[in-house]
């Protein structure tokens, strides 16, 4: 009886060691396959974005990429001891470009959506924005919220392929929608009186109102959607995801996040740097 018990315990012990060793080996192989290792070996962090999303990624007078995300991209590269390599990419192809390894991470003001999350991984949100309305001044006092724009007589603009476009189709489906390749074009259509309202993210609508829209538009600055922005990477990489989340926590804890937020979101001195 004792011999039988000893045999069972021995088998159990060796089985436990075998599976533990196997699991450990699998973890090591998973770590080796992480994009973190590829970045370190290459000595470069390739950051995907599309310049023009104010104030997250823009081009200054000297041709340099600046903005909220760009500051974080440079700091992330520095934290890894590698070179920061910006990869300016057309927005409608940015997810496929990530998935085909054209760059390592999207740091481009991307909203977390369930549709996108089926294809890529998102780190924890670093800021929350929402859709707002830049209204042509002729509607001042008559249109008070997005609900008032749900009518075929109103021409609404936004950038194609964005959550602004999605918001129009979801919340104002009866309105006449006119999509544009860029948010700047969509906004100018409203400023010039060719459309009734721009539906887009709060930071951009605020910037456009302050820089070109005063006297011509009304800024309805209360967001009517909840949209968390986050950095995106390819699926199947828990090590990289862990690194990004801890990097974000550290940035918030050591004052860097507050510094960047005050510079780009609250401040406006950076406007003079733009082309």
Question: Is the domain of 144 the same as that of 84?
Answer: no
Predicted pLDDT of residue 13: 54
Domain identity same for 41 and 166: no
In terms of domains, do 54 and 187 share one? Answer: no
Q: What is the pLDDT of residues 152-197, one digit of tens each?
A: 999 999 999 999 999 999 999 999 999 999 999 999 999 999 999 9
Is-cis flag, bond preceding 55, omega within 30?
yes
Sign (positive/negative) of CA torsion 28, 32, 35, 41? positive
Coil vs helix vs strand at 137:
helix
Same-domain pairing of 101 and 44? yes
Question: What pLDDT score does 144 carry?
Answer: 96
Could you tell me if residue 258 is inside a domain?
A: yes
Residues 189 and 152 in one domain: yes
Total domain count, the chain: 2
Q: Is the dihedral of CA 127, 131, 136, 137 positive or negative?
A: negative
pLDDT bracket for residue 64 (50, 70, 90):
very high
Rounded-to-integer distance, Cα 111 and Cα 136, Å: 26
Q: Is residue 6 part of a domain?
A: no
DSSP letters of 155-213?
Answer: EEEEETTSHHHHHHHHH-TTSEEEEESSHHHHHHHHHTTSSSEEEEEHHHHHHHIIIII
Do residue 112 and residue 153 come from a single domain?
A: no
Q: Are residues 136 and 124 in the same domain?
A: no
Task: State pTM to two decimals.
Answer: 0.75
187-212 per-position pLDDT tens digit = 999 999 999 999 999 989 988 998 89
Provide the domain limits for residue 234. 35-128+228-273
Question: Based on the domain organization, do 95 and 169 belong to the same domain?
Answer: no
Check which CATH number belongs to the domain holding 104 and give it: 3.40.190.10
Q: How confident is the model at residue 14 (pLDDT cuts 50, 70, 90)?
A: low
What is the separation of C-alpha 47 from the centre of its chain, rounded to a whole number of angstroms? 12
């Amino acid at each position: 009886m004792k011999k039988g018990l000893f045999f069972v315990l021995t088998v159990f012990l060796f089985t436990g060691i075998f599976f533990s060793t196997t699991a450990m080996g699998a973890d090591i192989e998973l770590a080796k396959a992480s994009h973190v290792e590829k970045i370190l070996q290459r000595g470069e962090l390739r950051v995907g974005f599309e310049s023009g999303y104010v104030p997250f990624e823009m081009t200054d007078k000297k041709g340099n990429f600046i903005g909220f995300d760009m500051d974080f991209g440079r700091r992330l590269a520095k934290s890894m001891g590698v070179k920061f390599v910006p990869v300016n990419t057309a927005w409608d192809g940015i997810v496929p470009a990530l998935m085909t390894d054209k760059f390592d991470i999207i740091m481009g003001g991307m909203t977390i959506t369930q549709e996108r999350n089926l294809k890529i991984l998102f780190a924890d949100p670093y800021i929350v924005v929402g859709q707002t309305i830049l209204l042509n001044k002729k509607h001042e006092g008559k249109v008070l919220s997005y609900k008032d724009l749900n009518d075929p007589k109103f021409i609404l603009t936004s950038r194609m392929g964005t959550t602004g476009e999605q918001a129009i189709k979801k919340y104002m489906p009866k309105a006449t929608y006119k999509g544009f390749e860029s948010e700047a074009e969509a906004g100018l259509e409203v400023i010039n009186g060719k459309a009734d309202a721009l539906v887009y993210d709060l930071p951009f609508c605020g910037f456009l109102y302050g820089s070109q829209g005063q006297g011509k538009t009304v800024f309805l600055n209360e967001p009517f959607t909840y949209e968390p922005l986050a950095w995106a990477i390819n699926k199947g990489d828990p090590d990289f995801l862990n690194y990004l989340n801890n990097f974000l926590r550290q940035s918030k804890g050591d004052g860097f996040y507050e510094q960047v937020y005050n510079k780009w979101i609250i401040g406006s001195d950076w406007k003079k740097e733009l082309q």
